[in-house]
Amino acid sequence: MSPSPRSLACAPLLHFTLIGAALFAADLLLNADTPEPIVVPRAFLDAQRAEIEARTGAPASDEALAAAAQTYALEEALFREALSIGLHRHDLVVRRRLVQQVEFLHLDLNVPDEPDEGALTRWLLDHPGDYQLPERRSLEHRFFSRDKRKDRAPLDALAALSLLDPKTPTPDGATPDVNLNIRAYLDTKNASDDASNDAALDAQPPLDAPPDPFALDPSDPFALGHALLNQSRQELAGRLGPEFAEAAFALPAGRWSGPIRSAFGHHLVRVTEILPGGPAPLDAVRPRVRADLLDQRRREAADAAARAALQRHPLVIEPEVDREGAPP
């Protein structure tokens, strides 16, 4: 025999259950309307205090710190408001920024193991085009200063070249005594070379040894010296300008050429050595190979983490709708 409604209404257990359910529902409603408090981090206030004291040279006042805390709280309140109405879902800039933050987090958290010698060698062999040594050149040059000689700098350089290379005619307009200086320089240098050869045969140098051949050098002093050794095209461009580097790398070896203009003046140039480029050995590029391999491993781990995140969420593609708003 089932209990009557009247007997159920008088049952104490039923009363207790109904009261508990009502209190639980009320608690949910009350907590749903109670916002999470905004906590101003102590680190934020300390940073504000340091910034104010550095800017003003005086201790930060309580009023200034209270204003900074109020600004932080206002921004936090607006940020929470934006999240509550889903602005982060519809703003493509914000959405992309959040995605980037997670991608950076994956990169930072996935630290790969240190590659061994075999891994470095395999990476270098698999990517030879990324580790090419550039062609390099060593050259000797003579400098003619634009600041000192003005418009005569290229003419003086060409006059000097006419004596270094007899096929080059002496130009009009050069400094009047430049040819005399050049001839004296060359004669003295040849005499010095002859004396050096004799000294190699005789331990005692000759008493009438000529003076320093560079004392009559017709060119001007140059801060980097007269010899530039083992220079790549990029290095030479950084020192003397792109125009000079391109011209120097087009010269044959062993012959004086010019004048070649640089950022400082004009130069006579003789290439003394050409070192061809080619694939780099591991010891020459080890730091780069290691960094590139670690970066590749870190990105592979981050991609795997992203794919794992996708697997945790079912994928649903909305169907197309016709113009009336109904699926086709």
Are 221 and 124 contained in the same domain? no
Strand ranges of the sheet holding 227-232, from the earlier edge strand across to the other edge = 227-232, 136-145, 265-275, 256-261
- pLDDT tens per residue, the chain (328 residues)? 445 545 444 555 444 454 555 554 445 455 555 678 999 999 999 999 999 999 999 999 999 999 999 999 899 898 888 888 888 787 888 888 888 888 888 888 877 888 999 999 999 899 888 888 889 999 999 999 998 888 888 888 888 887 776 665 545 544 544 444 445 544 544 555 455 545 544 544 444 444 433 345 678 889 888 999 999 999 999 999 999 999 999 999 888 888 999 989 999 999 999 988 888 889 888 999 999 999 999 888 888 888 888 888 888 888 887 766 555 5
Shared domain for 223 and 298, answered yes or no, is no
Asked if residue 296 is part of any domain, the answer here is yes
Contact present, 209 and 190 (Cβ < 8 Å): no
Assigned domain for 171 exists: yes
Does 302 lie in the same domain as 221? no
Percentages helix, strand, coil for the chain, rounded to the nearest 5?
Answer: 60, 10, 30
Q: How many domains does the chain have?
A: 2
Distance CA 134, CA 137 (A): 10
Query: What residue numbers bound the domain in which 235 lies?
Result: 135-177+217-276
Q: What is the pTM of this model?
A: 0.46
Q: Is 101 contained in some domain?
A: no
CATH of the domain at 259: 3.10.50.40
Question: Does residue 246 sit in the same domain as residue 294?
Answer: no
